[in-house]
Every structure is written in structure tokens, then in C-alpha cells.
Amino acid sequence: MIATSTASSPVVYCLLLLLLHSLHPSVSALILSGSTARTSVAALRSTNNDDNNMSGDLKRILVTGANTGIGLALTKQLVSEYNCHVYLGSRNPERGAFAVEEVKKCTGKDSVELLTINVSDDASVQSAANTLSEKLGASSSKLYAIVNNAGTGFCHNTPPSEILDTNTRGPRRVVDAILPHLDSTNGRIVNLGSGAGPGFVGGNRLSKERKMRYLNPMEEEEIEEEIAHILKMNDEYAAYGGSKALLACYTMKLAQVHPNLSVSILSPGYICTDMTRGMGASKPPEEGTVSLIKCLFEDLPASGWFWGSDGLRSPLHYMRNPGEPEYDVLFERQWNFNQGRGPWGLKKNAEIWNGRVAQVAFVVVLLQELITGKGVIASITDGDAVGYAFLGLAGVGTLGLTIWLAIKGDESDIVF
């Protein structure tokens, strides 16, 4: 009787995963997703704790908007489980002080300090940067990470202008002021995005040209142009989704300008906070930190990526749900085809490809019957060379059309 099994043999399990991945990457992604994100985070916590305890150094992290919700939950985890020293950013000093005491009481540690900061106010952000400089100078340390968690929208009943200013310009204010205090070689910047961002880009509020713009890094001037465009919609939901989509564009640009830093943006998931209370969100803030922890401590494959709430890479132009395969080139091509954009990742939509192939087939069949007086099947059955020639012509025409669409397939410049 064989005593081992696939489940108990890491070597066999890994070989099977490699085989499945070579056949189709999304298959292995689905299998790996069976191990919950919570399990992987637990393993990461153990590893990170061991590393920090061996070095004896505290990782110093600034978390904005940390007096409640996801920011507060993250702060507690960083202090209690990751041996970090957290500067708890809060717009309201009284609420911030209360949150600091709550963290100390829950964790039994004093590795947390209040940093009063209103990300919507230039003077407040600069004052916070000066205070932080003094705190870091006293310990001769550099900041390990900036977590831009502060945000507003939905149940906060804030106007579109304030939503865009807080969610899009706020992180930029913080980074501009705090960047000199961040570790220039190993520092990390983590921006809290939302699934509403890809939902906004993939929706019907933007032209095709604008959608393409949202898939790439944007300069500050471009972001301001888009903010002005969104404000014209006069819609707080569009403002929220647009603010998070623009934050992703800023994240990509930040990663481009600072290649030595690890810069990420993520969706925490649909978490019950003051912003979403009463809107059907049921997950507690503690479950919204999976990707935050990943982006803070794991060796990421690239900088500037958008991560889903389950710790897997996600696209910027449509919403990928937890449990679905991780976003990659293959997944993009499959999605393009399923959404009617064309096979093999063609930029032109599937209707044009299918329609032209049908027309090619019709013309070939018509010409073949006019010349030979036979149907295609009858001609081939009789071994008629002309029938084979027309069949080959249909194949070459279809292949040529496919290649041409793949190369030329910009929806704006193909009209036929």
C-alpha cells in the first residue's frame, strides 16, 4: 500500500501545479486560490515576525485615516503581529488620541504615536511632515512605508469636489511632503484604492479615448484635467469611482518616477466602515487588510500594480471579483473575447471579425459555384482542384484578416 499522496507530497503537488500552469495559468490560479488569503497572510505574519525579532529593528509606518475602520484595524495588526511602530494619522486629534489608546490597550504595546494630519489641507500635511521629521530624527530612523488610507465618499455625504480632493490629491500631498523621510532604497508606498475605480473606467461614463488614458500613468496636469471632467458629471458616485481610478494612474506614475520604491494600489474589498454602513457591506475592517499586508511585506513582482482584496493582481478597466483567476495577459485576452472585443486579444470587436469572416466565406462559396457549377462539398468530394483552391483561398483570407485586425485593430480607425 502506498503511504504517500498528492496532498502530502509537496514535490508531487508542485509538479502538478507546474504542469497545469503550462497548460493554462488560470487553472493553477484557481487551485492556489483554494488556499485562503487568510492562510497566506498568517504564514507571512510568522515569517515577518521572525525577521523583525532577529534584527531587533522596528519598521516605522505612517497610516493616514487610521483612527477608525480599515486604518485602525491595520494599525492594530502592524503593532501586535508585525513588530512595527505606527504613526497613526488622524484629521481629528481627539479621535486620534482615543484610537492610539485603543491600539495600546488591544496590543499591550506602546509602538504607536498620534500624527495629526488632514490630507485635504496643504498646511496640515506640511505640519505633519515637520512633526514626523522630529520624531524620526529622535530615533535616527527612516520611514519604512506610507499607507495612504484616508478617504471619503458614500455615507460621508461629501460633495464630489471634496471626494476628488481627498481621494486623489490627498495621497499626492502626503507623498510630496513625506517622501524625504522615506527609506529611499527599501521604502514602500501603498495607496488604498477601490473596486469602484475599475468599475468607473469600464462603465459608460468615459469615451473610448478617455478609458485608454486611465490605463496608463498620468502626469499631475492630466489628472487635474480628468478631475475637472468628472466634476462636470456632478455625481458623487462617479466622483468616488473616478477618484480611485485616478489614484491608480498616480500610483503607476509614482512607480515610474521612483523605481527604487515599491508602490502599489489595492482594493480592500467591500468592508463595513463608516463610509459604507447601511449599504450592504458585511465584512469587518480586519478582513480588509489582506492586500495591505501583502503590499507592505511581500516581495512583489512589480511596482505600480493594482491588487484585489484577495491578494491577487487585478485589472484597471473592469472589476475582477475575489476567487476569479489572477489578472494576466492570458486572462486579458480571454476577457476581451468574452466581452465581444475579438479573438486572441484583437482590439477590434468580435462583431467585425465574425462579420468579415462570414462575408469572405460567402464570396468564396459564390465564386466557386459560379465557376465550377458545384457546391463546395461536392467539388471537394469529386477531387476538383478548383474546390481545393477556393477552400485554401478562404483559409488564407481568414488568416490574413485576423492578422491585419490584430495589428491594425484600433476601433477608431477601422471602418469597413
Q: At residue 196, what are phi and psi to the nearest 5 degrees?
A: -65, -25
Sheet containing 112-116: give its strands across: 112-116, 84-90, 59-63, 145-148, 188-192, 262-266, 306-307
CA separation for the pair 258, 405 (Å, rounded): 37
**What type of residue sits at position 193?**
G
C-alpha cell at 414: 477601422
CB 242 within 8 A of CB 199: no
Q: How confident is the model at residue 234 (pLDDT cuts 50, 70, 90)?
A: very high
Q: What percent of the chain has pLDDT over 90?
A: 58
Rounded to the nearest 10 degrees, what angle do helices 350-372 and 385-408 cross at? Answer: 160
Burial class (CB in 10 A: 0-12, 13-18, 19+), 156: middle
Q: How confident is the model at residue 33 (pLDDT cuts 50, 70, 90)?
A: very low
CA separation for the pair 215, 400 (Å, rounded): 29
Task: Check residues 197 and 21 and name the one with the higher pLDDT.
Answer: 197
The domain locations on the chain are 1-32, 36-339, 344-408
For 21-46, what is the mean pLDDT? 43
Torsion of CA 83, 94, 67, 243, to 10 degrees: -130
pLDDT tens per residue, range 87-139: 999 999 999 999 999 999 999 999 999 999 999 999 999 999 999 999 998 77
Q: What is the pLDDT of residue 63?
A: 98
pLDDT tens per residue, range 333-382: 555 544 444 444 444 445 556 666 677 777 777 777 787 777 767 777 78
How far CA 59 is from CA of 95, 138, 187, in Å, comes to: 24, 15, 10
Per-state percent for the chain, helix, strand, coil, to nearest 5: 55, 10, 35
Nearest to 268 by CA among 307, 317, 215, 299: 307
Q: What 8-state DSSP symbol labels residue 143?
A: B
Q: How many CB atoms lie within 10 A of CB 177?
A: 21
CA separation for the pair 361, 65 (Å, rounded): 61
C-alpha gyration radius of the chain: 27
* Poorest-pLDDT segment among 3-7, 70-74, 374-378: 3-7
Q: What 8-state DSSP symbol labels residue 207?
A: -
* Poorest-pLDDT segment among 27-36, 237-246, 373-382, 395-404: 27-36
C-alpha cell at 65: 485615516
In 3-state terms, what secondary structure has residue 88?
strand
CB 193 within 8 A of CB 213: no
Q: How many CB atoms lie within 10 A of CB 250?
A: 24
CB 318 within 8 A of CB 194: no
CA separation for the pair 6, 20 (Å, rounded): 14
CA separation for the pair 413, 416 (Å, rounded): 10
Q: What is the pLDDT of residue 345?
A: 43
How far out from the chain centre does Cα 89 lie? 24
For 390-396, what is the mean pLDDT? 80
CB 324 within 8 A of CB 318: no
Architecture of domain 36-339: 3-Layer(aba) Sandwich (3.40)
